[in-house]
Structure 1
Amino acid sequence: MPEVAAPQAEVREVLGVPADEAVFDPLPHNPLNGVTAGVWRVTGGGRSAVLKVLTRTKETGVSWAASNDPRHWNFWRREAYVYGSGLARVWERHGIRAPRLLECAERPGGDVALWLEDVPGEPATSWPLARHVEHARRLGAAQGETGAGEDRPWLSRHFLRDYTAGKTTGAALLDDDEAWRHPLVRSHFPPGLREDMVRLHHDREWFLTVMESLPRAFCHLDQWPANLRSDGHGTGVLLDWAFAGDGALGEDLGNYLPDTVFDHFVPAAELHGLAKSAYDAYVHGLRESGWHGDERLVRLAVCASAVKYDWLTALMLARADEEPVGYGGTGTVAAAVRYRERGLTLAFLAEWAAEARLLAPQLGFPEAPSGR
């Protein structure tokens, strides 16, 4: 049993067996995040649960350091508050729920242990495209009904601005000719991508200001297929509420769609079709819920959310000589496949960014600086 995993009393309370009779299997997660001490599936006594230990003492890099600021995007206790307050259940009637909280234990050393339902259904990483589209419809209905929701002092604010500000690896390489001549980059990044990504980086402040000025919604802010599963009854179960807080209406969808491809759950060749169908479904869900706003504002949020991945091009340039690994450090990915799929997705995001630059002035926003 990992030392950080569980005191005896927690195992007995949740599973009804002594800790030495339980089996702890580590689950994939972001090992760089200073908030997460570990995640395990724990089985024993014919039962199972997922254990996630939250901490503020883990040593990690500055960009993933845990924060004591309740509004910071990486506030270490937020997920415990989201579950304990019941806020994670706010979208249930629209078919999107969180795992059931079985136990929240405050540990003597200051860590917090979340014992959660072990959801048995199919992970969204293997869903067919139609299931992603259905999730988008449900998400639209949920956010259309709840809107910005009731604010809580521990929900994140300015997530997009603060999250992207800490990701600076390779930024100087955007203007480095040699970096763009690397064989992987030259062979697999589409023509024109360099100009588009440099422009997106230079326009970063404009995009962030637009996103912060759009209609608000209560957002999960980390929606992607690895954080979503079916529960076997047609309901989507959304995991990892650690970033939850204020966002633009449409921002969650703008995160979800490119991330289906960035980590190889959907081929890049399917992205345009998926994005159109999912966006239409999201708007349909909004209208179903009684939302009567200007759809163009939602479209602008989805497209302008491309700025979240401004940093990824620079990171790809910086790591062109490293062996690509899967999420959570599990397995490897062929470098040519990684660069081809991500290059195509970055080009797709450049199209979103271009659409945002055209749409924003129609809605009363100033033109992007590089568009003048």
Structure 2
Amino acid sequence: MPDTDAVDAEVADAEGVPEEARQVLGPFTGPVFLASLTHNAKNGVTGGVWNVSAGDRSAVLKVLTRSKEATGRWAASDDPRHWNYWRREADVYTSGLAQAWERNGIRAPRLLARVERADGDIALWLERVPGRPATRWKPARHIEHARRLGAAQGAVGEVDDQPWLSYRFLRQYVGGNTLGQELLDDDEAWQQPLVRDHFPEGLRRDMVRLHHDREWFLDVSESLPRAFSHLDLWPANTCADGSHSVVFDWAFAGDGALGEDLGNYLPDTVFDLFVPAVRLPTYAARAYDAYLHGLRESSWRGDENLVRLAVCASAVKYDWLTALMLARAGEEQVDYGGDRAVDAETRYRERGLTLAFLAEWAREARVLAPRLGFSEAPSGR
């Protein structure tokens, strides 16, 4: 790792980091070392994320900003309700909400310090958690995580509304992902070799239908029982530390449907190649049962059918992904963070199978919703 004279070029004010480190970590001798951590560099809210080592002490430094150039949907927002509000993660940590699920086995890294910098940025100094990342968990550990999530969301439920919690996240996030939507009805796009050879038969019909029904799915999701939600829960934001799951990156946290976080976590374990797609039906069924078990362990006594509807309706979050895959079928495929190439055929096969699985969720939602008093989906009439 580089020393303070050659820190990562991403560090906006490298000369201030050693002094902050001394204030946060206490006295130490020798240089300060920074190593950049994988994150979404496109997001205008994130100035950078680093492991910081100083003597025998260490921490994670995350800089929140609104001055970083970012295009389109990843631009930082000053609207406290917007899904990409730039200050939200700092507020979640300092309010204590990041630790709301701790009694049920899920916690956030400990906040060591929140530093309001002179340039307007916010530096979050966080505990460095050395646990096993969820990207390397076996399915059984993901399933246990689902149980803990159910217990936590059942016990905590909704929280007192704060003006900086995200609201209508799913609608805003899906609506901001528009790349390639015109290709959904383009015959040539569906005949690209990666798409033609690796997307299951019938997927085009199912994904076009999901896109056309998008408003219905969003309306249903917003009418379901609510819970304090992370809203970016996936293996790259999770690790194991002793008796707890540790969840990072609370930048989107806020109001969500009870079950929505699980509906995000399960497909994301396959989309980014952490669990093979062939295991998804069994893995998802067991994880859903574990989530319900966790809910029953808590004080929650609601209608389980509404939870199932929330999980299935969350398929709409990935409406945009099909269009993106069509748009990028001719490009080099890289992993999250953009550091390494990913085998294109493997990615398209695994994502195609997962999208087909989500189409089954969408079908189940269309059947279940009218039984629970919701209108039928437009394409189901």
**Shared fold (TM-score, shorter chain, > 0.5):** yes
Q: Distance in 2 between matches of 1:250 and 1:5?
A: 41
CA contact (8 A) 2:30 2:55 kept: no
SS of structure 1 residue aligned to 2:252: coil
SS of structure 1 residue aligned to 2:227: strand
Change in Cα spacing, 1:309 to 1:109, as seen in structure 2 (3 Å) is same
CA contact (8 A) 1:155 1:246 kept: yes
Q: How far off is 1:290 after superposition?
A: 2.3
Aligned to 1:39: 49
List gaps (5 residues or longer) in structure 1: none
- Matched AA of 2:231: L
Change in Cα spacing, 1:295 to 1:5, as seen in structure 2 (3 Å) is farther
One of 206, 212, 231 as aligned partner of 1:202: 212
SS of structure 2 residue aligned to 1:237: strand
Q: How far off is 1:67 after superposition?
A: 0.3
The answer on 1:154 being equivalent to 2:202 is no
Q: Distance in 2 between matches of 1:347 and 1:191?
A: 9
Q: Distance in 2 between matches of 1:77 and 1:292?
A: 34
The answer on 1:247 being equivalent to 2:264 is no
TM-score w.r.t. length of structure 2: 0.96
SS of structure 2 residue aligned to 1:24: strand
Q: Distance in 2 between matches of 1:321 and 1:244?
A: 34
Aligned to 1:4: 12
Q: Distance in 1 between matches of 2:150 and 2:26?
A: 40
Aligned to 1:58: 68
The answer on 1:331 being equivalent to 2:372 is no
Structure 1 segments (4+ residues) deviating >6 Å: none
Aligned length: 371
Any idea what the Cα deviations from partners look like across 1:224-256, whole Å, max 9, x if unmatched? 00000011x121000000000000000000000
Q: Distance in 1 between matches of 2:186 and 2:372?
A: 36
- Matched AA of 1:297: L
One of 270, 276, 279 as aligned partner of 2:285: 276
Q: How does 1:34-183 map to 2 (within 5 A)?
A: 34-183=44-193
| Identical pairs, percent | 70
Aligned to 2:358: 349
One of 296, 302, 323 as aligned partner of 1:293: 302
Q: How far off is 1:5 after superposition?
A: 5.5
CA RMSD of aligned residues (A): 1.1
CA contact (8 A) 2:50 2:61 kept: yes
TM-score w.r.t. length of structure 1: 0.98
Aligned to 1:25: 35
The answer on 1:370 being equivalent to 2:379 is yes
- Matched AA of 1:230: A
CA contact (8 A) 1:169 1:318 kept: yes
CA contact (8 A) 1:141 1:285 kept: yes
Any idea what the Cα deviations from partners look like across 1:51-83, whole Å, max 9, x if unmatched? 000000111111101000000000000000000
Change in Cα spacing, 1:265 to 1:277, as seen in structure 2 (3 Å) is same
List gaps (5 residues or longer) in structure 2: 1-6
